[in-house]
Amino acid sequence: MNQDKRIHHTGLQRKICSAEDAAQWIKHGDLVGVSGFTGSGYPKAVPGALAQRIKESHNKGEEFKIKVLTGASTGPQMDGVLAEVNGVSYRSSFNTDPKMRERINNGDTTYFDMHLGQVAPFYRSGAIGDMDVAIIELSSVRADGTLIASSAVGNNQLWLNSAKKVILEVNSWQPEELDGMHDIWEVSTNYPQDIIPIRTPSDRIGVDYMTVDLEKVVAIVETDTSDRNTPFSPPDDNARMIAGHLMEFLKDEKKKGRIPEKFLPLQSGVGNVANAVMEALSQGDFENLTAYTEVIQDGMLAMLESGKMSVASATSFSLSPEKVQYFNDNISKFRDKIILRPQEISNHPEVIRRLGCIAMNAAIEIDIFGNVNSTHIMGTRMMNGIGGSGDFARNSKLTIFMTPSLAKNGAISAIVPMVSRVDHASMDIHAVVTEYGLADLRGLAPKQRAELLIEKCAHPNFRPLLREYFKKGLDNGSMYTPHYLKEALSWHERFVATGSMLPK
Amino acid sequence: MNQDKRIHHTGLQRKICSAEDAAQWIKHGDLVGVSGFTGSGYPKAVPGALAQRIKESHNKGEEFKIKVLTGASTGPQMDGVLAEVNGVSYRSSFNTDPKMRERINNGDTTYFDMHLGQVAPFYRSGAIGDMDVAIIELSSVRADGTLIASSAVGNNQLWLNSAKKVILEVNSWQPEELDGMHDIWEVSTNYPQDIIPIRTPSDRIGVDYMTVDLEKVVAIVETDTSDRNTPFSPPDDNARMIAGHLMEFLKDEKKKGRIPEKFLPLQSGVGNVANAVMEALSQGDFENLTAYTEVIQDGMLAMLESGKMSVASATSFSLSPEKVQYFNDNISKFRDKIILRPQEISNHPEVIRRLGCIAMNAAIEIDIFGNVNSTHIMGTRMMNGIGGSGDFARNSKLTIFMTPSLAKNGAISAIVPMVSRVDHASMDIHAVVTEYGLADLRGLAPKQRAELLIEKCAHPNFRPLLREYFKKGLDNGSMYTPHYLKEALSWHERFVATGSMLPK
């Protein structure tokens, strides 16, 4: 294992050190910018060494907490280890780590949830202060000192530009052949910003490397550790039914000429339902698909290989352990078909609207009037975060939210009288799909949306209760949005009290 | 009054007829595209004649209702007269007419509320069907048959392209010198769409006229009638205090270098508070202001004249009767400083984000966690609609919502435990201002937002109650978003039951 073969710059070779030494550069109160997006491309060694330091400080009764900005979610060696030692005072922009989630929900960590396409402008606005340290995973360093990102681009270039000190992790588990797959283009820091010249998902507009002021690099750590690589979650019957309804809808839209012959770029979240959609697309009639999305998951890789999909543009990978192994072993097959961009570009409203994406995202719950909750459990606890769903939902040509009609073995209905948190207001949602059917909500008023969502999407166990709620709203004299406020959140209250939204 | 001097095309001169004759072209069930935005540039004669026909049909027991798509709000001679006869089955995209509001809220008219920058893509998506008739107000017709819009551009060119039959109203009240002030540029109907090449608010990218297939023009009606021109609503003390807090904030942002020396384009809504902000800006220290906004109101006109503002880009005017008279009499002063664009362009996320606008909009209510309701009264009744607030709020560099802390003589608090409707989720709101102060919410978690909004923005009468609610949420164990669901909407319930949010 000759990791330092990945570091071709002699000056930087001299800065190679242990994770423990590298972690010494980080102080209590520091704002730390970290690489990583959807469990890919995050640093694997320095955060653990830092967590150890933090633990020792805490044991001595000393304060030690840092503020962390990432691309999106990282993995157990980053958010997990830092949460374990209660080492993070402030966290943005997205998290899926269960230990960090617990810190966020018990108040130990202040969490700022935001659109992933707006993390960079938010940082540049200056509202959060200056970045002290960046910890960035790379796949290699070129001889000229330029840096090759690993499996996620995220906000890496901005963190490299902004941090006073830079720590690099060069991970030899990442294929060296990632070199050439990135497309780094920086949004102007001054206004008006430059036009983003992307006209198709395959357009390359920048350079394939990142840059850093080498004087700022204080440490380089060599690692050989896999990304988080969540196991593939195979589609179950419900997921397949959801995908089936969605495919029918897309076929019908194409037949009506609303989706052009050459189709439109796809954006898809991750997980069981998204996997079923990818499976259905790969077996379906649509050809020459493209993706303009955040993450490349197993199903897209399969379609790129089979030729169903010609190109996928994203900011990171989110692959299963099996698929990542296959990808790393066969990367040459994919090199010309994948482009990894900064998340500000992968999720930019300018490009999403220009391309006319089809956005397909998961919802936690949806109310009968078509508002979507993507973030909160029972109105109070943070699940993960809004992620890029808002960037795509607001700006896509077709915006679809998907969810099984039930959760918690039937105790929770995904279709509720009023969502306990709104992340996507009704005007941003074109269609909702559950295993029972698809509700095409375009152009409909709240009352019409309610009828469709209850009769087409809700689980039959909950339909009579939803109809009853809707009738109470109408009887109450509200004919535009017939809410009955007294009971609007009663299902959530009941669940918290009894463990089920169903009355005893 | 030689109105036909406005119609310089001989073929179209032959189609001049009465409003009554023109209205004959419209049938029950027709989808009608109408000009008009913020009470400007809507047809003044044909809708009245149509309303008369509808009334006669209803008197005979015949069905007669049409579906109406506009730019945004119109006036009493359009939405008012049609609502009076219950002549509209479907209405989108925005309404401020009190009679139409009543139809929407009593269920007579189906209302689809949407982002004003997305009306055109929504229509082009085909989801609402084909347009039967367009009724478009013009200021003149050129000899070559091209059409000059009047005081609003809205969706006019799209309606002219799409409708099977076109009715034109040429309004000689509108100054003929509007010719040259419009900039018509059409978004591509195919994907990927063209890049919108606007780099500053003053950029002209299209042509100054609209086109129509002359064969489709079935009638031209001559009118001489003013726009709605809502009387100027002078700033009261609260509005001046809100403007004062906002100016302090903007000054501070500029001092910190977060707003550049040449400032950023302003977007502003209309009304009492917006007027106070314009007044404060016109008296303040900022120079070389520009506007990239939906509507040009009295205050902007004053700043354009004084030189404080160099250019204003919008899709329509919304002036007081006095100011519109002044504008019409002195239009040559403003011709080079005002650009009226299609609303798809004035409100386009691509341009708004590129320019880095400062968005200043009114809210109906805001909850302690920073979510904004712009549309609904007590969760059930539609006020006006979301308008362009979402287009600007989501994409601007700075997004500010403003409201007096109280409404209905103190019976309603604008800061509530939970908004009864969410139009703008918390991540889209950077600052909230009431007469008590400004809460800078950037980067804050829900708990921190609650503390600021209660202590800086809420009216002192309601602060103890808000603190009590917040404490109940915390005591209830929710440390991320500490809602206490049982009482989350109790203030609205109490208002509906007792006429006040304050407990007896």
As averages over each run of 10 residues, the pLDDT of chain B (504 residues) reads 77 98 98 97 98 98 98 98 98 98 98 98 95 98 98 98 98 97 96 97 98 98 95 92 98 96 95 94 95 96 96 97 95 96 98 98 98 98 98 98 98 98 98 98 98 98 98 94 98 98 94
- How far is B119 from chain A, CA to nearest CA, in Å? 10
Q: What is the pTM of this model?
A: 0.98
Q: Is the peptide bond before B265 cis (omega within 30 degrees of 0)?
A: no
> Least CB-CB distance to A355: which of B191, B395, B424?
B191
CA distances from B124 to A258, A280, A299, B158, B433 (A): 9, 28, 31, 9, 37
pLDDT value of residue B389: 98
Q: Are B201 and B312 in contact (CB under 8 A)?
A: yes
Q: Are A179 and A268 in contact (CB under 8 A)?
A: no
Instruction: Sort out which chain A residues have CB atoms less than 8 A from B190's CB and list them.
Output: 260
Q: What digits encode the pLDDT tens for the residues A50-89?
A: 999 999 999 999 999 999 999 999 999 999 999 999 999 9
Contacts of B146 (CB under 8 A, 6+ apart): B209, B210, B211
Q: Are B378 and B220 in contact (CB under 8 A)?
A: no
Contact B353/A126, CB-based, under 8 Å? no
pLDDT value of residue A1: 42
Q: How far is CA A393 from the centre of its chain?
A: 13
Question: What is the distance between the alpha carbons of residues B111 and A431, in angstroms, rounded to a whole number?
Answer: 18
CA angle, B496 as apex, B493 and B499 as ends, to 5°? 120
Which regions of chain A are under pLDDT 70?
1-4
pLDDT value of residue B4: 59
Question: What is the distance between the alpha carbons of residues B118 and B116, in angstroms, rounded to a whole number?
Answer: 5
Instruction: Sort out which chain B residues have CB atoms less than 8 A from A424's CB and list them.
Output: 425
Contacts of B464 (CB under 8 A, 6+ apart): none
A235 touches chain B (CB under 8 A): no
Q: Which of residues 39-78 of B touch A (CB under 8 A)?
A: none
pLDDT value of residue B19: 98
Question: What is the distance between the alpha carbons of residues B187 and B345, in angstroms, rounded to a whole number?
Answer: 8
- Given the residues B169, B294, B344, B365, select the one marked as catalytic: B294
pLDDT value of residue A480: 98
- Given the residues A84, A222, A294, A435, select the one marked as catalytic: A294
Question: What is the distance between the alpha carbons of residues A33 and A91, in angstroms, rounded to a whole number?
Answer: 10
Contact A448/B110, CB-based, under 8 Å? yes
A193 touches chain B (CB under 8 A): yes
Nearest CA in chain B to A473: B380
Q: Is B408 annotated to bind ligand?
A: yes
Question: What is the distance between the alpha carbons of residues B340 and B118, in angstroms, rounded to a whole number?
Answer: 17
pLDDT value of residue B233: 84
**Among candidate residues A134, A142, A205, A162, the one with its CA nearest the CA of residue A7:** A142
Instruction: Sort out which chain A residues have CB atoms less than 8 A from B421's CB and list them.
Output: 481
Neighbours of A471 (CB within 10 A): 12
User: Strand (E) positions, B142-200?
Assistant: 147-149, 165-171
- How far is A293 from chain B, CA to nearest CA, in Å? 15
Nearest CA in chain A to B398: A125
User: Strand (E) positions, B15-80?
Assistant: 31-34, 66-69
> Least CB-CB distance to B192: which of A112, A356, A486?
A356
Q: Is A272 annotated to bind ligand?
A: yes
B130 touches chain A (CB under 8 A): no
User: Strand (E) positions, B66-193?
Assistant: 66-69, 88-92, 110-111, 133-141, 147-149, 165-171
User: Strand (E) positions, A172-308?
Assistant: 217-223, 266-268, 289-292, 295-297
> Least CB-CB distance to B354: which of A122, A192, A200?
A192
Task: Suggest the residue from A479, A484, A492 to mutate for an interface test with chain B (most B CBs closer than 10 A).
Answer: A479
| Tokens encoding A211 | 């840059």
Strand-pair partners of A180: none
Task: Suggest the residue from B253, B427, B490 to mutate for an interface test with chain A (most A CBs closer than 10 A).
Answer: B427
**Among candidate residues B377, B342, B275, the one with its CA nearest the CA of residue B136:** B342
B294 is catalytic: yes
